Every structure is written in structure tokens, then in C-alpha cells.
Amino acid sequence: MAMSDTPGGADGSAARASSVPVCYRHPRRETYIRCSRCERYICPDCMTAAPVGFQCPECINEGARTVRQPTTVLGGQVRERSDLVTKILIGINVTVWLIAMVVGAGEVAGRFGLYAIAGFDGQPVGVLDGEWYRMVTAAFVHEQFWHIGLNMYALWVLGGMLEPALGRWRFTALYLVSALGGSAASLLGLGVGNLSYGASGAVFGLMGAVFVIARRFGRDVSSVLVILAINVVFGFVVPGIDWRAHLGGLVTGTALAYVFAHAPRERRAVVSATACATMVVLIVALVRWQLFA
């Protein structure tokens, strides 16, 4: 009869097996490496190199939650693709323009451009008919190549400066609310049957924001003022350009940017969001008062 050298037979084998450390996430894998934070045993599949030793997945995730993400002076989160929203906005504008080239620029402008009130396909259309969405969609409609070309080039340059500084959500809000402010100013002088469209109101809002942020950091703003002046005058002297949309977007973007740039650091997000919501309410109230009174 076979005899066991270790007292206890099978029980002794179990005792030896229990003394072998195993990965806390994979109990069948032997390992002698501990997590440098929680000191639990981890196998090669669970270990991640750390400044000292290795860490387990749970400690890596916990560290990622507690480590503060780097931000700019104005609170924008530092990201690898710092101009992602700018590229998305350009992509939307170009896509709408290409669709308009296929189905007809007049068709797209008639359905999504800015009307106070007009007739289209035999039906009344416009903001006065309840189509408030036109105040935003009009900012994504273009017809002529030079029109979308100039606006998208300006968006590319200005967005590349503002988006990294402000962060994605505040830059997006700045662009859209500036477009809304431009549409509101345009509506006040459109009249019956007149149409307005284009991203110029939003772009002028970005120009105003560049001026405010440059002043915030004590930079020379003379070149920004020259560019702004040229574009404002350009809107007055060239026929067919809606200068009201330019001024409306400029005022809106400048006001929002001032809040973004000077909001207290500890309450920056709340103050910025409140400013955006307040501006939207004021714009809608102004339009209702002027058009629906």
C-alpha cells in the first residue's frame, strides 16, 4: 500500500497548494507580484507598470478618478484633439452645403433659412409661424462657395484659438448662442418674405470672444480691432450681406466671452452655464416682444 511522505495525505497536498499565492482576479493563476498600492497579488494580465512597481486594474481606475485633469487658465480641459468641436462644426456646415448643391440651394435655404414670415411651397413658414428652429439652422446654411469658404476659414482660425482655451462645451455654447443672437438681430429687420442665412453671426461672436480673451491676458488687441472693423464695414457696404446678424452675433459672443473669461474659478462652470441660459432667455424674449407684440 502506497504511503504519503507528508502527514495528512491529500490534506497535506491541499496545505501546500494553499500556500501558493494566486491572482486575486484569476484564482487559478500563480503569481508572486503584488500591487504596489493595495498589495494584493496580481498576474501578468492584471498588472500595469507604475512609477514604483505594478498596480492592479482597480487601483489604476481609482487613481484615474482622483487625479486632477490638467486645464487651461480659463478652465478648458487639456486634450489631444483640442479642436474637435471646431472640425465637427465645419463638417456640419460643409455637409449641409453639399446637400444644398445636390437637392438645390433654394430648397435647403427655404426650409432651414431664417424667415420672419413668408410663403414657401404654398404654406406659411417662418419664426412667426412657430418655426423657432430656423434661428439656429439658418447658421448652417450657405449657397455661394465664397460665402461658406470665408466663414469656414474664419471658424477654423478662431476655433483653433478659442476651443482649447475655453474647452469643448463652452466653445460650443459660444458658437451656438452667438448664432442665435445673430438670428435675433436679423429678424428685427427682415420684414415679410425676406430670407437670411449663414454662419457669419456665429463667426462674429467668435471674433468678439478673441478680443475679450486677448484683453483678459493683457495682449495687444489692435490687430483684432482692425479685423473686426474691416468685417463690420464690409457688411455695411456690400449689398446682400445681413449686417444685423453680424452685429447681433458680435454683441452676444462678446458678452458671453466676458463672463467666461472673468467667472470665479471655483464657480466657473455654474456661472458660465447660467450666463448661457440667461442669454438664450433674453434673446427669445426680445424676439417674442418685437415680432409677436
Task: Give pLDDT tens digits for 18-36.
Answer: 578 999 999 989 998 899 8
What pLDDT was estimated at residue 290?
A: 81
| Residue boundaries of the structural domains of the chain | 19-66, 85-292
Per-residue pLDDT reduced to its tens digit, 87-123: 999 999 999 999 999 999 899 999 999 999 998 878 8
Residues of the chain with pLDDT under 70: 1-18, 65-73, 77-78, 293
Alpha helices in 219-267 (DSSP H): 222-237, 243-262
Q: What is the CATH number of domain 85-292?
A: 1.20.1540.10
Ramachandran angles phi, psi of 6, nearest 5°: -100, 130
- 213 dihedral zone (left: phi>0; alpha: psi -120 to 50; beta): alpha
What is the rounded CA–CA span in Å between residue 269 and residue 118?
40
Sequence-ordered alpha helix ranges (H) in 39-144 = 57-66, 84-103, 105-112, 134-137
Q: Report the pLDDT value the prediction gives residue 293, as an integer from 0 to 100.
A: 67
Q: How far apart are CA 204 and CA 227, in angstroms?
A: 11
173 neighbors 215 (Cβ within 8 angstroms):
no
Catalytic residue flag (residue 246): yes
Cell of 34: 503584488
Q: Which three cell numbers stand for residue 59?
A: 487601483
Report helix, strand or coil for 17: helix
Catalytic residue chosen out of the listed positions 200, 222, 223, 262: 200
Q: What is the pLDDT of residue 18?
A: 57
The residue written with cell numbers 461672436 in the block is 205
What separation in angstroms does the CA of 180 have from each of 35, 282, 289?
Answer: 54, 11, 16
Q: What is the pLDDT of residue 179?
A: 97
Q: Find where cell 464690409 sits.
A: 234
This prediction's pTM: 0.76
Active-site residue, 147 included: no
pLDDT at 236 (0 to 100): 81
Q: In the structure grid, which three cell numbers stand for residue 72, read together?
A: 487651461
The C-alpha atoms of residue 280 and residue 146 are separated, in whole angstroms, by: 30
Provide CB contacts within 8 A for 199, sequence distance 6+: 93, 139, 140, 142, 148, 151, 152, 155, 179
Task: Say whether 57 sits in a helix, a strand or coil.
Answer: helix
Residue 72 CA to its chain's centroid (Å) = 15
Please tell me the distance from the alpha carbon of residue 258 to that of residue 263, in angstroms, as a whole number: 8
Distance CA 47, CA 32 (A): 12
